Amino acid sequence: MVEITAAELTAAEKIFGERLDLAKRYVEHLATSGTERGLIGPREIPRLWSRHVLNCAVIESAIARNSHVADVGSGAGLPGLCLAIARPDLELTLIEPLERRVIWLQEVVDDLGLDNVTIMRTRAELAVGMVDADVVTARAVSALTNLAGLTIPLLNGSGEVVAIKGRSAAEEIEKASKVIRKLGGVETSVVVCGQELLEEPTTVVRIIVNKQGKTA
């Protein structure tokens, strides 16, 4: 079993509630088949809860109820599977091009019995027109100048991008502001999630998109 500290357990209980058991099983998958099959480095095992699962799951607070969320470049399900477990009201589409990652994701989804997840084996650029998301999430996929073009078109004109970023968030926004505006981004901000739950809260870039210029 992957160890969890008392503080992490308190946070996990708050975020996952009665689905905490599913989150624990997901962490075990990451620590076993996930590392054996190269989806996550073995050195990450002691920090799976803090640096990966909780760090990703806290962004659920930035996502409205019953949203359709597309997670671009899910890899080992970060943040997509964390959100699917924490928020059964959300509908998740995980977009991931690499076959062995997709196979692993499907095995985990089947084992956990998650009925709010669809997996698409494709690149985000090729999923445009096939996905109509309210929110697009991403972590560790690309710099914002490029990520904007991978995420905003999946919103079909309006919605939000919630991209997990570190300390570079403000700088990345500055560099990407022109391309974000061109793609229909009307407001871009840095939001900190999980301040009350985590020792190291999660910084996200939130882009509100409204191509038609309608008021929300």
Ligand X SMILES: C[S@@+](CC[C@H](N)C(=O)[O-])C[C@H]1O[C@@H](n2cnc3c(N)ncnc32)[C@H](O)[C@@H]1O
Residue 116 beta carbon to ligand X: minimum distance, rounded to whole angstroms: 18
45 binds ligand X (CB under 6 A): no
197 binds ligand X (CB under 6 A): no
161 binds ligand X (CB under 6 A): no
Among 20, 45, 62, 98, binds ligand X (CB under 6 A): 98
Among 97, 116, 156, 179, binds ligand X (CB under 6 A): 97
8 binds ligand X (CB under 6 A): no
DSSP string, the chain: -----HHHHHHHHHHHGGGHHHHHHHHHHIIIIIHHTTSS-GGGGGGIIIIIIIHHHGGGGGS-TT-EEEEET-TTTTTHHHHHHH-TTSEEEEE---HHHHHHHHHHHHHHT-SSEEEE-S-GGGGBTTB--SEEEEESS--HHHHHHHHGGGGTTEEEEEEEE-TTHHHHHHHHHHHHHHHTEEEEEEEEE-TTT-SSPEEEEEEEEETT----
Residue 62 beta carbon to ligand X: minimum distance, rounded to whole angstroms: 16
Is 101 assigned to a binding site?
Answer: no
150 binds ligand X (CB under 6 A): yes
184 binds ligand X (CB under 6 A): no
The residues that touch ligand X, with contacts defined as CB under 6 A, are 72-76, 78, 95-98, 101, 123-125, 139-141, 150
